[in-house]
A = this chain, B = another copy of it.
Amino acid sequence: MKLIGILICSLLSFQFTYAESGYQLWLRYHQIRNQKILIEYQHNIRLVYIESSSPTSAILKSEIVNGLKGLLNKKISITKNKVEADLLFNINTKTATNSEEGFDIHSIKNKDNKFKVYISAKKDIGLLYGGFHFLRILQNEQSIDTININSSPSLSIRILNHWDNLNRSIERGYAGISIFNWHTLPDYIDQRYIDYARANASIGINGTVLTNVNANATILTTSYLLKVKALADLFRPYGIKVYLTARFSAPIELDKLKTADPLNSEVQRWWKNKAKEIYELIPDFGGFLVKANSEGQPGPQNYGRSHSDGANMLADAVAPYHGIIIWRAFVYNNEIAEDRFKQAYNEFKPLDGNFKKNVLIQVKNGPIDFQPREPFHPLIGAMPKTPMMMEVQLTQEYLGQATHLVYEAPMFKEILQTDSYVKGTNSSIASIINGDLFEHQQMNGMSGVANIGNDINWCGHPFAQANWYAFGRLTWNTNLTSEEIATEWIKQTFGTQQESIKSIQKIMLGSYESMVEYMTPLGLHHIMGNGNHYGPLPWGNSFSRADWNPVYYHKADSLGIGFNRTSSGTNALSQYNKEVQIKWADSSTCDEKYLLFFHHVSWNHPMKSGRNLWNELCYTYNDGVERVKEMERLWISTKNNIDGDRYHQVEQLLKIQLKEAEWWRDACLLYFQTFSKQPFPKNFPLPPHDLNYYQSLQFPYAPGNAQ
């Protein structure tokens, strides 16, 4: 009883400051709330047997012991006696899943009506994934007496991209600075690194690109590679491979070569030697991610060479060690008189078949740049001979950044489920990305631009953690629904109180559509603040690069609004398959969520609602605002079930979100009204300020600018 007293006090005093700081993410392991289920678990799980004694199984052991101690309020022992154990982890080369990372979980009844839970995998890492999955089942208070799971990952590469600079600033980071403290590495191993690895392993993420795609060659110097090695050694038993971004001009910058021409033999030798150096330190180094000839980054085109020349040169360097090259297709050039939408496709499609086997092309989900809503990127599916990864952005650069609650799973699902028709019907984006459609089973995947920083709760907004979580879960199993993922995340993060779960589900599942409505409804895109992408700036026209200016994208004029990408316009639509073109080519039948993405239509264009476009725009913007108000009401309803700290955080953030949603609505509509010349609908909430006011707002220190 004395010990208990001490423990309680420690907890209480901590609670006063940060009862639920968010640091623990979805791995809180609080005691099971449902007493019946708790007793069932306590009764059935007493002794655990873990085969193998690798570093990975040591992690599994500690995670299981700690997880069960918390969930079951009971010390669980590890036994060496397989027979007496209730929960068995064993290596089994004949698992049903037949994948290197997969696992089986089965509960099998004994004669005495008791049952044992078997978790089997081919490899240690599968056991660890299985262990985390089993803990997830308990955290979700699901029955364990009839488990029958064979689980394998949908995608082979499930990777986070950190846009983290060596000085710890994060490009488009909204949750503090980088968790990777390069200055104190390799000597200082922060507890953060360990907990980062735990969190990733718990949701199946198996790779991390530690550095910004706007790359710095310094990371390839020996002293920095020793720092990378320290992280790689730490992450290895968690099944996480380390990747780096390669600055194409590194041979010039680091060793004063005269060129970085990929066909120059000295350059080739430089990269081969560099790869050798890296692999001697990190035998399982994943490979390089490269942003080349994009937004000012150097690349093969500086030497009159193609993207494939560049990628292949690097591919040859890492091939002896089974490394891969992830080459980004995010290219667009304002010196080319062509719709930005079309440029990646135009440049990469002709190269299909030219890439070495260990090259993947990484394409963003949409053709522009992580907008609130875009149709799928036409390059996805257009290069059948080339393995392709899809890049999504967890950090909410264009999605309200750290102050807006936006659950992104519905956006990911929307894209994954879209049929590209590239091989007839049932050519979903998911089936391309997972390698099925074009038989790239070994090389396929998704990358998520990380939303992680050194904020105590990792991601800034307490709900931003859900996007990291959803990315992991969805890349492991692309068939999971947004709702399933939200539900398990909520239970693990906030607890299992039914009423609050339902309210939080509603908040999350409606949040994406709400944000699209109050920011960029009906196919509008890229009308955010210059550079920082914060807040509305539809009038923005100050960049010398036309394709960075909002007016380039919405093309509002006295006749109407929208970007004509049909055959009478830039004909970007032609990059899609016929079936897709048909769906979107006619402004009177085009899915209205993409209307202004593909069509310049009159302010009086008739919408399905019966309204004209102007009125529809007004009502849609306002619907987005109203939905945020509903989110606020739903959140208030959870008050008694949520700890004070997080309740209050989210409460404050929703107020900011509402304020900013209204700002978006008011600023955009006042501006577009100068073209539509139409009044606001009757009884419409009128903006509290005039357009001048919104145009005068300045945010010189808004976060997320490149530093």
* CB pair B7 A168 closer than 8 Å: no
Contact of A617 with B by CB under 8 A: no
* CB pair B6 A30 closer than 8 Å: yes
Q: For window 191-237 of chain A, which residues contact chain B by CB distance below 8 Å? A: 191, 195, 218
- Interface-facing stretch out of A260-268, A618-626, A649-657: A649-657
* CB pair B9 A30 closer than 8 Å: yes
* CB pair A652 B18 closer than 8 Å: no
* CB pair A182 B701 closer than 8 Å: yes
* CB pair B10 A30 closer than 8 Å: yes
Contact of A166 with B by CB under 8 A: yes
Residue of B whose beta carbon sits closest to that of A30: B10
* CB pair A184 B656 closer than 8 Å: yes
Contact of A70 with B by CB under 8 A: yes
Give per-residue flags for A383-426: 1 if the beta carbon is below 8 A from chain B beta carbons, else 0: 00000000000000000001100000000000000000000000
> How distant is A512 from chain B, measured CB to nearest CB, in Å?
22
Q: Known contacts A191-B645, A701-B183; is A70 also within 8 Å of B5 by CB?
A: no
> How distant is A401 from chain B, measured CB to nearest CB, in Å?
9
Q: Known contacts A183-B701, A454-B455, A701-B183; is A13 also within 8 Å of B24 by CB?
A: yes
Give the chain B neighbours of A188 by CB distance below 8 A. 403, 652-653, 656
> How many copies of this kind of chain does the complex include?
2
> How distant is A529 from chain B, measured CB to nearest CB, in Å?
12
Contact of A39 with B by CB under 8 A: no
Q: For window 641-663 of chain A, which residues contact chain B by CB distance below 8 Å? A: 645, 649, 652-653, 655-656, 659
> How distant is A24 from chain B, measured CB to nearest CB, in Å?
6
* CB pair A12 B701 closer than 8 Å: no
A182 to B702, CA, bound (A): 9
> How distant is A485 from chain B, measured CB to nearest CB, in Å?
22
Q: Known contacts A23-B456, A653-B188, A656-B187; is A701 also within 8 Å of B11 by CB?
A: no
Contact of A44 with B by CB under 8 A: no
Q: For window 453-505 of chain A, which residues contact chain B by CB distance below 8 Å? A: 454-456
A9 to B455, CA, bound (A): 25
Q: Known contacts A183-B701, A701-B183; is A13 also within 8 Å of B70 by CB?
A: yes
* CB pair A9 B23 closer than 8 Å: no
* CB pair A659 B403 closer than 8 Å: no
* CB pair A23 B17 closer than 8 Å: yes
Give the chain B neighbours of A402 by CB distance below 8 A. 184
* CB pair B31 A24 closer than 8 Å: no
Give the chain B neighbours of A515 by CB distance below 8 A. none
Q: For window 142-199 of chain A, which residues contact chain B by CB distance below 8 Å? A: 166-169, 176-177, 182-184, 187-189, 191, 195
Contact of A5 among B73, B169, B176, B183 (CB under 8 A): B73
> How distant is A44 from chain B, measured CB to nearest CB, in Å?
18
A426 to B169, CA, bound (A): 50
> How distant is A214 from chain B, measured CB to nearest CB, in Å?
15
Contact of A166 among B24, B69, B701 (CB under 8 A): B701
* CB pair B659 A454 closer than 8 Å: no
A23 to B457, CA, bound (A): 13
Contact of A574 with B by CB under 8 A: no
* CB pair A218 B700 closer than 8 Å: yes
Give per-residue flags for A685-707: 1 if the beta carbon is below 8 A from chain B beta carbons, else 0: 00000000000000111110001
* CB pair A9 B29 closer than 8 Å: yes
Give the chain B neighbours of A699 by CB distance below 8 A. 183
Give the chain B neighbours of A18 by CB distance below 8 A. 23, 191
> How distant is A450 from chain B, measured CB to nearest CB, in Å?
17
Give the chain B neighbours of A649 by CB distance below 8 A. 191
A402 to B412, CA, bound (A): 41
Residue of B whose beta carbon sits closest to that of A25: B17
Contact of A66 with B by CB under 8 A: yes
Contact of A257 with B by CB under 8 A: no
Give per-residue flags for A8-44: 1 if the beta carbon is below 8 A from chain B beta carbons, else 0: 1111111011100101100111110000000000000
Q: Known contacts A166-B701, A218-B701, A652-B188; is A8 also within 8 Å of B4 by CB?
A: yes
Q: Known contacts A21-B23, A166-B701; is A29 also within 8 Å of B4 by CB?
A: no
Give the chain B neighbours of A21 by CB distance below 8 A. 23
Give the chain B neighbours of A24 by CB distance below 8 A. 13-14, 17
Residue of B whose beta carbon sits closest to that of A38: B5
Give the chain B neighbours of A7 by CB distance below 8 A. 7-8, 11-12
Give the chain B neighbours of A4 by CB distance below 8 A. 4, 8
* CB pair B31 A6 closer than 8 Å: yes
Contact of A456 among B218, B456, B701 (CB under 8 A): B456
> How distant is A560 from chain B, measured CB to nearest CB, in Å?
35
A552 to B484, CA, bound (A): 67
* CB pair B69 A176 closer than 8 Å: no
Give the chain B neighbours of A656 by CB distance below 8 A. 184, 187-188
> How distant is A515 from chain B, measured CB to nearest CB, in Å?
18
Q: Known contacts A23-B21, A187-B652; is A73 also within 8 Å of B9 by CB?
A: yes
Give the chain B neighbours of A456 by CB distance below 8 A. 23, 454, 456
> How distant is A64 from chain B, measured CB to nearest CB, in Å?
12
* CB pair A655 B11 closer than 8 Å: no
Contact of A168 among B5, B653, B703 (CB under 8 A): B703
* CB pair B187 A655 closer than 8 Å: yes
> How distant is A405 from chain B, measured CB to nearest CB, in Å?
13
A73 to B10, CA, bound (A): 9
A7 to B645, CA, bound (A): 17
Contact of A66 among B5, B13, B701 (CB under 8 A): B13
Contact of A31 among B9, B17, B703 (CB under 8 A): B9
Give the chain B neighbours of A10 by CB distance below 8 A. 11, 28, 30-31, 70
Give the chain B neighbours of A454 by CB distance below 8 A. 176-177, 454-456
Give the chain B neighbours of A31 by CB distance below 8 A. 5-6, 9-10
Give per-residue flags for A72-110: 1 if the beta carbon is below 8 A from chain B beta carbons, else 0: 010000000000000000000000000000000000000
Give the chain B neighbours of A218 by CB distance below 8 A. 700-701
The 5 A-B residue pairs with the shortest CB-CB distance in the complex, in nearest-first order? A13-B70, A13-B29, A11-B11, A9-B31, A166-B701
List 15 A-B residue pairs with CB atoms under 8 Å apart, sorted by A's residue number. Answer: A6-B31, A7-B8, A9-B29, A9-B31, A12-B66, A13-B24, A13-B29, A13-B67, A14-B24, A16-B62, A21-B23, A23-B456, A168-B701, A182-B701, A218-B700
With A16-B70, A167-B701 known, 13 other A-B pairs at CB within 8 A are A5-B73, A8-B11, A11-B14, A12-B66, A13-B24, A13-B69, A17-B195, A21-B23, A177-B177, A187-B655, A187-B656, A191-B649, A454-B456
